[in-house]
A and B are shown apart, each in its own frame.
Chain A
């Protein structure tokens, strides 16, 4: 029986993610200890809240190290909303040092607030369209679909090679990424109706054998000190 671990690090309502997994016929555990990741076959990092607080929580609990080890095991990892943002190198949210907060660094680039001059409402809340590129996460879905978003910070660099979803809110931003066994959505699949459930199902059906060593090797960023992640 596949073990699904949802990381509970005190950031936001994560029961919905668990209930969605259960609805799909899987048992998902809320885990509070980094050691639990070693036993898991699927890990989900959800989260609503501020980047700096979340990173502090992950570091303090040791989940940051455990997540890197988990990623290197080649097993699938899904980030949702703030979870996706934490996969990036850095964010301008909750700045303490030099205006930048360091993230987990699975993907290169910066998370920043939607610019104020876009003439759109911020936070970006509601249903919006995702334009996708071929991916494992979106397998079997149409090239464009609607999902539910709640966020004020975003990844601007849609040229990023791991981008698999782009959404427009005053300007284009990255709404989903996938690189080997690490994937993430800015939207909430657990609140995106049948489309969202299909995405979660796709994720839960993946396993380590679905990813090549080459894909794994591509992870990591310039800021990890020139040392490959794995």
Chain B
């Protein structure tokens, strides 16, 4: 099938195996996940031509499970963006409406699944990068609990926030893919040894679901709010107990997120110096000038902006004011969630404040950062969160976001399955 939406950066023909839990099922892999022998660029010109000599742990698991890996998908460069327009290889289009963005940064994976080019896809979620495109493209996407899927082979953007996760057209498929990729890996020592081995039970009967007022505040499109409120009523109709709650730390979440992710990125992206891989090589200049030239030439604008922001935030004299303070705010967000999960089992709200933007609509970086406000809290706290389609506004998909306790991805998936069953029945 033709890739009319520029979902893929590279397509491959791997038949997979005849047996195994994913035998013969096609899986698209976001191009920030290392694949031995397949060019892996992170959507960046600075990794043009880089062919990893090793597979990420999740890729090894997919191959063992019999999956047919059918290519590497487009993304915002190094995962830095909310639209998949910041790719060094052109934007991906939304299969629902090709004048719109698919969301990001896992826009290629979402588009591949939504367009039927792949059964399943792997995305990565640092501040909403799985859930946002799932919401915009009308598919299901799970950001697992931090420490449940090995990051070995995931090209780091912001290590303490990001996780690899499953994307598919149904909750059952998301669950099946999650089962395969959550196996232990001694190479990622931030893993907690808690593999996901659950079969979804489509039920919310008796579950207490908190609705944080802050998820329906200023900046959220009232039509999106209304659609999500309908979805919450549907859950209530299935036997869930709806509880209005408040999350005061939400107002610091976005700032804490952007300081943390840019700081980590400024360090993670230091290795792209042209010495060992990617463009660069022979230079008549001193090493310092050669590094500057390679990085200045091949990093995109948003990447350079985030490296500069993060470098500043970590500088001597500013560390306490920015990075240090962001960690305090982050702890407050996690504390808020923990308090709320003392009295509710799940939290629900919109995944994104709006439906998919038009291509080029989010021209200034700040308005793009603001679009992440509802997804970043889950990353700051490391909790599981899923986006499941809950209808349309003006013909564009809206996503319902369900968040759960750390390592209780099972309840999140069960609730999403229950909702899905109810609306597709």
A interacts with B:
no
Which residues of B line the A interface, CB within 8 A? Answer: none
Which residues of A line the B interface, CB within 8 A? Answer: none
